Amino acid sequence: MLRSTAPLGSLLVLVLAGYGCGGAGAAAGTPDGGGGSDRTFVYVSGGSTISVFSLDTATGALTARGTTAAGKNVAYLAHDPGSRRLFALNEAIPGLVVAFSVDQMTGALTRLNDAPSGGDSPAQASVDRSGRWLLVANYDSGSVATIPIAADGKVGAFASRQDFGAKAQPHFAAVDPANRFVLVPCKGLDQIGQLRFAADSGTLTANAPAFVATAAMAHPRHLAFHPGGRFVYGINEANSTMDAYGYDDATGRLTPLQTLSTLPDGFSGNSTAAGVEVHPSGNFLYGSNRGHNSIVSYRLDAQGRMTLLGHETGAGLIATPRSFAIDPSGRYLVAGNQGAGGGILLFRIDAATGRLQRVGNLTATPAAYYVGITYLR
C-alpha cells in the first residue's frame, strides 16, 4: 500500500480469473472465445465509483457499461467464486466493506449493504473457495479479519481476526486452493504469515511455523498461487524482487525456491514492485514495477522456477502500474496507470512465448488503484 496525505483518487481494474483454472485454453466457466460473444467484464474503481467495461476477447475491444457509487477511497475489489457478488474495500479509518450483486448479463452492480472491515485502512481482500467468507487485510491495524457473506450476498460483522502486530502492515490474505490455509504477506515484518483457516466457522489460527521470512527490507506485498497449487509467487515492494516458493497443501507451508529481480540489469532509478499474476496456463508469471513503469514477465518450468523473459513499457504509456490483471481466457492483460492521469492499457498475450503486445492506446479512467477482470456465467 502506498501511504500518502493526498486523497486516494483511485482506479481499480479487477481481474479475477476464477478458481481452479489449471490449463491453457478454454475451461469450464471461462470464455470459449467464439466470436467475442462471451461475457467478460473489467471493473474499475476510481475515488468513489466503480466503472464497468465489457471486454470482447475476440477483438480486444473495451466498451464502457456504466458506473456505480461505492463509498470513498475505494481500494481493492473481490468477486466471489461464482462472480455473482462483488465486494469493495473503502480504505478508511475504520475500514468498510461494501457488498454488491452482479447482473450476469450486463455486469451491472446493485448495492446490497456494507459492514466494518474489522480494522483500519483495509488494503486487499479475497473470498474463500466456498464463497462464505471475505478475508480482509487491515493494513494500519496489523490484522486479517474474516467477514461472513450471507446467502443473499450481504456482509456481516467479522467472525475472526488474526493480529500480527501494529507494525506488521499485512497487505493481502491469499486462501489456498484447498480452502484450508491462508498466506499473508506482512510488509512491515519482512515475513509471510502462515495461517490455518476453518471454513465452517471462518476462524483463523497461526500455523506452525507461523511465518516464513523474506529478505531483509524486501517488504512482501502480494501473492499468487500457481494454477496447479504446488507453487506460490510473492512480489516484494521495496527491493523489487519476485520470490518463488514450493507449497505443501497438506501443511500449508511455504519452502523458498528462488528469487529474481523484477527490474532490468543496470536500472538505477527509483522503483517499487506492486502486483503479481500467474497466467491461467501456468506457463508464465507477471509483475508490475512502479518507477521503471513496466510489466515484467517470466517463463515458469515444471519445478516452479522462473526465467526472465523481459519488460514491457507499452511504448512509454505505462505509468506507475500499481495493479494489472489477466483475463480468464489468458488472451489479454490489462494494466492500470496510477500515475500520469490514469488510464488502462490492454495487451495481447502470446500463448507460445508469454510476451505482451500492446493493443490500441490508453482507455481513459481515473488514477488506477487496482486492476481485475471476471467472466460472468
> Listing from the earlier edge strand, what are the strands of the sheet with 241-248?
220-225, 231-236, 241-248, 253-261
Q: Map residue 188 onto helix, strand or coil.
A: helix
Q: Map residue 95 onto helix, strand or coil.
A: coil
CA Rg value for the chain = 18
Phi then psi for residue 320, to 5 deg, are: 50, 70
Q: What is the mean pLDDT of residues 45-69?
A: 89
Average pLDDT along the chain = 89
CATH of the domain spanning 11-375:
2.130.10.10
Q: Map residue 189 onto helix, strand or coil.
A: helix
- β 181-186/174-175 pair status: antiparallel
What is the C-alpha to C-alpha distance for residues 29 and 19, in angstroms, rounded to an integer? Answer: 10
Q: How many residues does the chain have?
A: 377
pLDDT for residue 8 is more than 80: no
Residue 365: the pLDDT is 82
Q: Which three cell numbers stand for residue 369?
A: 488503484
Nearby residues of 1 by Cβ (< 8 Å), 6 or more positions away: 91, 121, 123, 139, 169, 171, 187
CB 252: neighbour CB atoms within 10 A? Answer: 19
Nearby residues of 68 by Cβ (< 8 Å), 6 or more positions away: 49, 50, 52, 100, 108, 109, 111
What is the C-alpha to C-alpha distance for residues 12 and 338, in angstroms, rounded to an integer? Answer: 9
At 105-139, the pLDDT tens digits run 999 999 999 999 999 999 999 999 999 999 999 99
At 185-213, the pLDDT tens digits run 999 999 999 999 999 999 999 999 999 99
Q: Map residue 319 onto helix, strand or coil.
A: coil
Reported as half-sphere exposure (CB side, CA atoms, 13 A), residue 121 has a value of 14
Q: Which three cell numbers stand for residue 194?
A: 502462515
Q: Which three cell numbers stand for residue 10?
A: 483511485
- Partnered with residue 89 across adjacent β-strands are 97
| DSSP summary character for residue 132 | S
Q: Map residue 145 onto helix, strand or coil.
A: strand
Q: Which amino acid is at 57?
A: T
- Partnered with residue 183 across adjacent β-strands are 174, 194
Q: Map residue 346 onto helix, strand or coil.
A: strand
Reported as half-sphere exposure (CB side, CA atoms, 13 A), residue 361 has a value of 1
**Cβ pair 141, 82 in contact under 8 A:** no
Residue 29: the pLDDT is 40
Lowest mean pLDDT among 17-26, 166-175, 333-342: 17-26
Q: Which amino acid is at 305?
A: R
Containing H/E element for 110? strand 109-116
- State the pTM of this model: 0.90
Residue 78: the pLDDT is 95
pLDDT band at 165 (very low <50, low <70, confident <90, very high): very high
At 219-276, the pLDDT tens digits run 999 999 999 999 999 999 999 999 999 999 999 999 999 999 999 999 999 999 999 9
What is the C-alpha to C-alpha distance for residues 41 and 294, in angstroms, rounded to an integer? Answer: 24
Where are the chain's structural domains? Answer: 11-375
Q: What is the mean pLDDT of residues 81-98?
A: 95
CB 71: neighbour CB atoms within 10 A? Answer: 21
- Report CA 140 to chain centroid distance, whole Å: 19
CB 244: neighbour CB atoms within 10 A? Answer: 22
